[in-house]
Structure 1
Amino acid sequence: MLTLYGSTTSPYVRRLRIWLANTQHDFVNLKIYEQPDREKLILLNPSMKVPFLIDQQEGSSQTVLDSRAIFHYLSEKLGRPKLSWDQENQLTLIDAVNDSLVQMFLLAQSGIKADENLLFFKLQKERVNAVLIELDELASLGLFKSWNYPAMCLFSLIDWIEFRSLHNLKGLTELLAFHENNAQRIEVTATDPRK
């Protein structure tokens, strides 16, 4: 039995939930900053991050940490096609924005204001701006027209940005159109963090 552990608000978790929509699995929603879920997270995942997957098989168990590793593990297990190197690069770009925004979000949640003069914030904002422009260009070329894993990851990122009001997407017309075109998919609405 496959059990995915995560948080309903994490874009890394949501991408897997969307991708696994037609695959039998359990989802355990952890409130990772509250006890006892924090204790469970520490016990089950030494990296103390979500998502992680536990694959219980007869007489054995496999734990897989990190969304990308989970995707590759399940792609192989379920016989799904591997990503091309171009798609892997698309994921790297999407993850770069996710990583920067997660770090800035956590700092903001900790009461630390983004200071344009500090190197950390300057680098993160520079990365986010540059990569979103690149993703907008890739979308304009039709690279996210198929509803595949990279497209699901991109949707989860854009929707999370909108949900948390993390970045002004004005001018990124292709990304906004991509988001709008996919917002009513059943697996998207079923995993909406606003619910």
Structure 2
Amino acid sequence: MKLYGSYTSPFVRHCRIALLEGQLNGNLACEFIETDADSSAKLSPTKKVPFLQDQKAGKDIGLTDSASILMYLREQSGKTFLKDAQDFNLFCNVNTVLDAAVNLLFLEKFDDITPEQSSYLTRHRDRVESALLHMNESSYSSQAPFTDGELRLACFLDWGLFRNRINIDGLDNLQALLKAARSFDIFAQTAPPIGA
């Protein structure tokens, strides 16, 4: 099994966490291969990371979305992916907000377009801010094990701060989740490298 991705992507980070958790149990063999945008454009039909390649019972398996990859990694290690509808809803909401934040980052970085120049991007920025306030209304696990919804949220929060895309000052429940996640060895091991 091969998992392709970048060390800075929050989507890839969540997959790397699931991979490392599965390897701790000794029943998940997978190689992580760092991949840049050019390589992912050639190797993945969606032209993005993460993507996973495996062969099972003589059949090639190719997964090109972090959600399907997480499900596959959890299944291969005998774990549950998304324990209930509430956790699934959190996971989906974080994905929506993360997509908006990534779009804001890349449009600013590559095309020099910011929300001040686009009503559509203003809506994306407002979506991120509104969702953070909403997600702060819930309480989360104070230590591992974390649910996949919580891990996705922690990956987003850490990435958002790393890329200076969000501010969680005054959002105590989100700060508490991120602090708890950062104290989890596997979460800490998968942090983006300094200077990336």
State TM-score, norm by structure 1: 0.87
- The structural deviation recorded for 1:177 is 1.8
| TM alignment of 1:1-195, pairs within 5 A | 2-22=1-21, 23=23, 24-32=29-37, 38=38, 40-57=39-56, 59-83=58-82, 84-116=84-116, 118-139=118-139, 142=140, 146-195=145-194
Distance 1:117 1:144 in 2: 40
- The structural deviation recorded for 1:58 is 5.3
Distance 1:10 1:76 in 2: 22
1:96 partner letter: T
1:72 partner letter: M
1:14 partner letter: R
Question: Is contact 1:136–1:175 with CA below 8 Å preserved after alignment?
Answer: yes
Residues 54 and 148 (structure 1), Cα distance of their counterparts in 2 relative to 1, 3 Å cut? same
Question: Is contact 1:6–1:29 with CA below 8 Å preserved after alignment?
Answer: yes
SS in 1 for 2:79: coil
Q: Percent identity?
A: 28
Residues 136 and 9 (structure 1), Cα distance of their counterparts in 2 relative to 1, 3 Å cut? same
Question: Is contact 1:75–1:81 with CA below 8 Å preserved after alignment?
Answer: yes
- The structural deviation recorded for 1:108 is 1.3
1:28 partner letter: I
SS in 1 for 2:20: coil
- The structural deviation recorded for 1:17 is 0.6
CA distances 1:146-192 after superposition (whole Å, capped 9, x unpaired): 51211211111010011111122222121112111221322122111
SS in 1 for 2:55: strand
Question: Is contact 2:54–2:62 with CA below 8 Å preserved after alignment?
Answer: yes
CA distances 1:110-141 after superposition (whole Å, capped 9, x unpaired): 142413362112210111011111111123xx
Q: Structure 1 stretches (4+) deviating beyond 6 angstroms?
A: none
Match of 1:35 in 2: none
Distance 1:126 1:116 in 2: 12
**Structure 1 residue ranges without an equivalent (≥5):** 33-37
How many residues matched? 186
Distance 2:46 2:142 in 1: 31
1:130 partner letter: S
Distance 1:102 1:150 in 2: 18
State TM-score, norm by structure 2: 0.86
SS in 2 for 1:27: strand
Distance 2:74 2:189 in 1: 22
